[in-house]
Structure 1
């Protein structure tokens, strides 16, 4: 899903010192931290993709697409948007703090660059398997009708959004340990949103999380990444000292997250 990802596409004391420029992979998309030859390889790491969703995929997908309305559907639609600056606030409710290019420039850049790494980690397997997406089989609506033509040409396995969401969940769990559970739950929910959107199977989402975890582990051997993590942690402390909160509707988000795909409430 590299092509899809690329289409959507930086401590208070540091704000007076502009960040050093980072090259772009394509216009608007920053290069990641990982050189190409060390990005985790989904073909080597993942099990063979179910051709069109296994039995559990189809059972869960049937249940989820019957609930394409309300708060969870709206959140799933929002979670599809990985463009910045919108995507920067995705975890702001989970950690109860404002995240923006102006207030947290190091964190903002960290999210942009790490998303590239996670997205690229799914590319080889997507291209190799070219698995059909659920809406191509069940003909039910998706939350992104304008993107369906492109998605038909982009392999479903593994999910790039799930990889990015799970990687970001791990990042926020580490830099805001007091909100670790909420950060990881939010990262998990990004993958669940792909089920509600009817653009991925459960096996795609699980494989995406595996790639996000693999990318996160590999990033810890990169000094640029670990330095950015330390700087981002200081920025969050500064934002908290200022009392700056999320601009999102956190009550609505909490309600939506109570309806995950494996919930008995479906």
Structure 2
């Protein structure tokens, strides 16, 4: 049910982009957003709260996480661990067939999307204050290593890695429609890595899916980014 609610939020997010006509607010010291409007991205506005601590829904999510990890191959777990250390748009290099960092206009645009998403992630984590699964269940290993120090305990929702994957992936898919399927599949797989690592519940990554889609769609339609988008599109068209 929660997954359906989050999917609906993502759908509504796209609809919202086409209906909002007011200019977006400028960057301020309080919100640190350069393009997105903080009023449209209040943490509780676009996604539901995560399951309460100790709830039956949390227990179901934890059980699903155990089953997912138990059924994983060593290769998939190794990929999840590698994804945990790959926190730039370069995560899509294989999907698009080029080192994105060698394309300056494209890299500039994608890192702009990433930066906006990082602000939204930080605000959401602070607001929802959700405990990470491996802190709830000590039998979970974090990317194969038991640890209490790698990640803050109460900043699970939404997932930062997943926000990066879904927001940057959405933007990149619009710029490279012929490779959209591979790009979006990579975004999903990258988000799933956070579950294989035991660092996030499924609802954490799905919250990022909803918010990241809304953020990327809003940025894609922001006239202040039109020149950056045009430059990236022209660069990618040469591939």
TM-score, length-scaled by structure 2: 0.76
After superposition, the Cα gap between the structure-2 partners of 1:145 and 1:235, relative to the gap in structure 1 and judged at 3 Å, is farther
CA contact (8 A) 1:135 1:198 kept: yes
**CA deviation profile, 1:173-229 (whole Å, cap 9, x unmatched):** 111100111111111112101101100000111111111011112213423433222
Q: CA RMSD in A?
A: 2.6
1:124 aligns with 2:130: no
1:74 aligns with 2:74: no
After superposition, the Cα gap between the structure-2 partners of 1:114 and 1:148, relative to the gap in structure 1 and judged at 3 Å, is farther
CA distance in 1, matches of 2:71, 2:131: 22
Give 5+ residue unaligned stretches, structure 2: 1-28
Give 5+ residue unaligned stretches, structure 1: 1-24, 26-30, 241-266
CA contact (8 A) 2:125 2:158 kept: yes
Query: How much does 1:45 deviate?
Result: 1.5
CA distance in 1, matches of 2:222, 2:86: 24
- The number of equivalent residue pairs is 206
Q: 1:137 aligns to what?
A: 136
SS, match of residue 178 in structure 1:
helix
After superposition, the Cα gap between the structure-2 partners of 1:182 and 1:148, relative to the gap in structure 1 and judged at 3 Å, is farther
After superposition, the Cα gap between the structure-2 partners of 1:109 and 1:55, relative to the gap in structure 1 and judged at 3 Å, is same
Q: 1:22 aligns to what?
A: none
Q: 1:90 aligns to what?
A: 91
SS, match of residue 90 in structure 1:
helix
1:46 aligns with 2:47: yes
Query: How much does 1:59 deviate?
Result: 2.6
Q: 2:113 aligns to what?
A: 114
CA distance in 2, matches of 1:63, 1:225: 43
Q: 1:179 aligns to what?
A: 179
TM-score, length-scaled by structure 1: 0.69
Judge which range, 63-72 or 170-179, deviates more.
63-72
Q: 1:37 aligns to what?
A: 38
